[in-house]
Amino acid sequence: MDARKKQRLIVQDLLDRCNGCPLQADQRGEHPDQIHGGCPLYTEIREAGKALDALQKPEEPKLTPEKYYALKQKGWKDQEINKKLHMSVYNWKLKIGMIHKRRS
C-alpha cells in the first residue's frame, strides 16, 4: 500500500472516531480551531492532514507556453486546445499574464 493511501486511511479512521461528537453539531459558522481547538483528537486529525498534504504529488501543468506555441505552430486554434486539454486557454493566458483583462 502506498504512503498516500495509508495516510488517507489514518485520516478516515480519525474522522470516524470523531463522528458523533456533540461539538460537530455546534458549528455556528465559527472556525473549527475555535470550536475543536482543545480536543486532542482534533489536533491529531490536523497533523494527519498536514502529513497527507506533504505526500501529495505536485500537479503538472496541462499547458506550458512552450507547449502552447508548439500547438499553435501546428495550426491548432485555442478552441481546439480547450477541448483537447479540457481547460480554458483564455483563463490560462490571463493567469500567466499573456493577456490582460480589459477594464470596463
pLDDT in tens, 49-72: 899 888 887 777 789 999 999 999
Query: What is the chain's Cα-based Rg?
Result: 22
Tally Cβ neighbours within 10 Å of residue 92.
21
Which amino acid, 100?
H
pLDDT of residue 28: 67
Among 26-30, 38-42, 78-82, 89-93, the minimum mean pLDDT is found in 26-30
User: Which grid coordinates belong to 87?
Assistant: 481547460
pLDDT digits 0-9 by tens, 79-104: 999 998 888 999 989 988 888 877 76
- The residues spanned by each domain of the chain are 3-55, 59-104
